[in-house]
A and B are shown apart, each in its own frame.
Chain A
Amino acid sequence: MLSALLLAVFPLIGTTFYVQLGAKIMIMAIFALSLDLLVGHTGLVSLGHAAYFGLAAYVLALISPKYEAASLWVTLPAAIVAAAAVALVFGFLVVRTTGVYFIMVTLAFAQMLYSVFHDTKLGGGSDGIYITVRPELTIAGIKPLDLENPVQFYYFVLLIMIGVYVLLSRVLHAPFGRALAGIKANESRMRSIGFPVFAYKLGAFVLAGALAGLAGYLAACQFGFVNPEILAWHQSGTVLMMVILGGMGKLHGAVLGAFAYVLLQEFLSAPALLGAYAKHWQLAMGSLIVLVVLALPDGLAGLFGHGRSFQRNDSNSASENLE
């Protein structure tokens, strides 16, 4: 609540650069929230979540007219529906796998989409496409929000982020969400008491894909440019890192993780601070990721929350490798 208030007053004090950075972070937070539904609440570790993020971004770029603004009312639903539809098709195939298969198969399908955009001329190949004019939002002929304006765009993203947060916490407290928690804890038990586990997992996968699409749409709006890197697996790894950094299974953790990761990245890649080594910021980021895995199993939210549990037992993994 307090942090939402802080975010709301931030544009009043921040410069344009920081307002834009804030919007970028909140977009990544929406993306991380959508992944947390899978990783933290359903127990599905997806390493291909950027596919839906990037696909929606591409949809906006492909259907926007070249010299005039596209309507938000058309492009936003189109982008989300496209992301959800692809998540449905991929999900139908990947949800039948478990554990480490799931990780590899989600990655592989995301890579398939990457090669579609990278190798064919559909989306401008590896060069990508520019979105010259941002979509506009009109209600009965009036434009309540100008998305070209960084501050207004910031508030637009903030509203959406809060909306997604509220939606997800509602979903998680609804019977659907409780069933997902049950599946995460013990899938075969849920199956044997009669839950259609496949349908629940697929439902979560599609919802997560749709919300990732929403984030991707906003990202394309902000940058005005898409290229295949937006759905590369590097992006999928980054968002997974945000979820873990913040602490998975806690919605505020995903938001916290996005903030921490992007700010850290800005810090490490700022030449003013680190000189020539800023170019190699990924070295520091990689080392940090390794350290977080070794030292902070519960993420940042675990640090601030009640009682860190270093002794948590994650040993259900090794037993499934050779059955």
Chain B
Amino acid sequence: MFYLIQLLNGVQYGLLLFLLASGLTLIFGIMGIINLAHGSFYMVGAYLAYWLAKITGSLWLAIPLGLVIALAIGVVLETTLVSRLYKRDHLYQVLLTFGLILIFEELRSILFGDDVHGVAVPALLDYSVRLTDTLSYPVYRLFITAVCLSLAGAMVLVIHKTRLGMMIRASSSNREMAASLGVNIRLLFALVFAFGTALAAFAGMIAAPISSVFPGMGNQILIICFVVVVIGGIGSINGAMIASLAIGFADTLGKVLAPEYSGIAVYLLMAVILLWRPQGLANKT
């Protein structure tokens, strides 16, 4: 039973990572932008959940409102800054988005202070499933798992079955060709970026009740997401899914077996994958 709980935790953490990593990998795969500020969007989401839930009194109201704000942030950033980087070297993308991290962190510090905050689990989901006499599992975590799974499913459907998905796939493999066939690349890119931002913020919002809301939370998870993207292969949603779950398990298992060294487990996994398949699991060399 103990291992069932760890398994469930691993899946839940892995799926949450997937929400973040899929946005990161899509933005890179389609737009060619490496976005260090992606972790900041996660943090923004968590703080939005904290702030809006305090104002409105309900996480259910906070989430849609927060999503609208996150989408707006995404559109503004894409049109004012990111769109100037498409033709620039990765180095400048790294620097500009590094600058954005500093800005987001300081704005967070000015607006919300440097304390750790908590967000209450919504009353509707605030109970546990009993597994044995002594062990139980919180329903809210199961809820996160379910939401992430349905989002992942929806994303795969959109990308592989819809007209929008077709345009996305077309412009990721050849931007100029897609543009000359009448795809509005500018609009599409703004959409993808805003969508990725919103996805990261959403992950932050639903994770807020279980992980608490604290300074620097975005950077910590960003680096794990990089590991996911490297393992899965850049631009691949399926790879991101496999890698997220692998990291979720590695991290959870590491925490159980060797708590002091659990932070290292995921990087060792990455080192092994790099030796074996430098281009990631999903991409063929």
Residues of A within 8 A of B (CB): 39, 45, 47, 93-94, 96-97, 99-101, 103-105, 107-109, 111-112, 115-116, 118-121, 233, 237, 240-241, 244, 248, 280, 282-283, 285-290, 292-294, 297, 313-318, 321-322
- Chain A nearest CB from B13 CB (Å) reads 16
A162 to chain B, nearest CB (A): 27
Residues of the A chain whose Cβ atoms lie less than 8 Å from the Cβ of B103 = 282-283, 286-287, 290
Against A, the Cβ 8 Å flags (1 = close, 0 = not) of B87-101 are: 111111111101111
Count chain B CB atoms within 10 A of each CB in A97, A120, A240, A322 and give the residue with the most. A322
Collect the chain A residues with CB atoms within 8 Å of residue B229's CB: 104
8 pairs from A and B in contact (CB 8 Å cutoff)? A108-B267, A112-B263, A280-B110, A290-B100, A290-B103, A293-B92, A314-B87, A318-B32
How many interface residues does chain B have, given as a range? 35 or more
Judge whether A293 and B95 touch: CB under 8 Å.
yes
Query: A240 with B87: in contact, given A107-B223, A112-B264 (CB under 8 Å)?
Result: no
Q: Is the CB of A93 within 8 A of B271?
A: yes
Cα distance A2–B270 when bound, in Å?
48
Q: How far is the CA of A286 from the CA of B103 in the complex (A)?
A: 5
* Given A100-B34, A286-B100: A241 in contact with B95 (beta carbons within 8 A): yes
Contacting residues, chain B, for A99 (C-beta < 8 A): 90
Given contacts A100-B34, A248-B91, 20 further A-B contacts (CB under 8 A): A45-B90, A93-B271, A93-B274, A97-B278, A103-B90, A108-B270, A112-B264, A241-B95, A286-B100, A286-B106, A289-B95, A290-B96, A290-B103, A294-B96, A314-B92, A317-B90, A317-B93, A318-B175, A321-B32, A322-B29
| Known contacts A294-B84, A314-B92, A322-B172: A100-B261 contact under CB 8 Å | no
Cβ contact of B263, chosen from A94, A118, A315, cutoff 8 A: A118
How far is A121 from B260 in the complex, measured between Cα atoms in Å?
9
Query: What A residues does B107 contact at CB under 8 A?
Result: 283
Tell me the B residues contacting A by CB distance below 8 Å. 28-29, 32, 34, 81, 84-96, 98-103, 105-107, 109-110, 172-173, 175, 219, 223, 226-227, 229-230, 234-235, 260-264, 267-268, 270-271, 274-275, 278-279
Contact call B267/A112, Cβ cutoff below 8 A: yes
Bound together, the chains give a CA A292 to CA B94 distance in angstroms of 13
A244-B172 Cα distance, complex, nearest whole Å: 29
Closest to A237 in B: B98
Are A286 and B263 interface neighbours, CB within 8 A?
no
B226:A318 contact, CB within 8 angstroms: no
Question: Are the CB atoms of B274 and A105 closer together than 8 Å?
Answer: yes
Question: Closest B-chain residue to A102, C-beta based?
Answer: B90
Q: Which residues of B contact A115 (CB under 8 A)?
A: 263-264, 267
Across-interface contacts of A47 in B (CB, < 8 A) = 94
Report the Cα distance A282→B92, complex, angstroms: 19
Which B residues lie within 8 Å of A116 (CB)? 263-264
Contacts A100-B28, A241-B98 given; indicate if A283 touches B110 (C-beta within 8 A).
yes
Lowest 6 A-B CB distances belong to which pairs? A286-B102, A289-B99, A115-B263, A112-B267, A283-B106, A286-B103
Q: Are A105 and B96 in contact (CB under 8 A)?
A: no
Most buried by B among A99, A119, A317: A317
CB–CB B99/A108 < 8 A: no
Of B89, B105, B268, most buried by chain A (CB within 10 Å of CB) is B89
Residues of A within 8 A of B93 (CB): 317
- Closest B residue to A40 by CB, please name it: B91
Let me know if B29 and A321 touch, CB within 8 A: yes
Q: How many A-B contacts are there with CB distance less than 8 Å?
A: 153
- Of B84, B106, B173, B274, which is within 8 A of A282 by CB? B106
What A residues does B263 contact at CB under 8 A?
112, 115-116, 118-119
Cβ of A233 and Cβ of B91 under 8 Å apart? no
Q: Nearest Cβ in chain A — how far from B230, in angstroms?
A: 5
Q: Which chain A positions have C-beta within 8 A of B173?
A: 322
- In the complex, what distance in Å separates the CA atom of A64 from the CA atom of B98? 35
| Complex partner residue of A120 from B84, B235, B261, CB under 8 angstroms | B261
Bound state CA distance, A107 and B100, in angstroms? 17
Determine the chain B residues whose CB is within 8 A of the CB of A283 once the complex forms.
Answer: 102-103, 106-107, 110
Verify A321–B235 contact, CB threshold 8 A: yes
**Complex contact B274–A322 (CB within 8 A):** no
| Minimum C-beta distance from B266 to chain A (A) | 8
Question: Are B226 and A280 within 8 A (Cβ)?
Answer: no
In the assembled complex, the Cα of A212 lies from the Cα of B98 at a distance in Å of 21
Instruction: Report how far A318 CA is from B32 CA in the complex, Å.
Output: 5
Q: How far is the CA of A9 from the CA of B46 in the complex (A)?
A: 52
Query: A residues within 8 A CB of B223?
Result: 107-108, 111, 233
Query: How far is A72 from B91 in the complex, measured between Cα atoms in Å?
Result: 37
Q: Which residues of the other chain, B, contact A96 by a CB distance below 8 angstroms? A: 274, 278
Q: How far is the CB of A311 from chain B (nearest CB, A)?
A: 11
Contacts of A285 in B (CB 8 A): 99, 102
A293 contacts B102, C-beta separation under 8 Å: no
The reply to whether A104 and B89 contact each other, CB–CB distance below 8 Å, is: no
Report the minimal beta-carbon distance from A323 to chain B, rounded to whole angstroms: 8
Q: What's the Cα separation between A283 and B230 when bound, in Å?
A: 30
Complex: chain A residue closest to B219, CB-CB = A233
Asked whether A108 lies within 8 Å of B89 as measured between CB atoms, the reply is no
Is the CB–CB distance between B87 and A290 below 8 Å? no
Pairwise interchain contact B99-A314, C-beta atoms closer than 8 A: no
For A289, the closest partner residue in chain B by CB is B99
**For residue B225, which residue of chain A has the nearest CB?**
A104
Q: Chain A contacts of B268 at CB under 8 A?
A: 112
With A107-B223, A282-B106, A322-B172 as contacts: A289 and B98 at CB distance below 8 Å: yes
Rounded to whole angstroms, the CA-CA distance of A84 and B86 in the bound complex is: 35
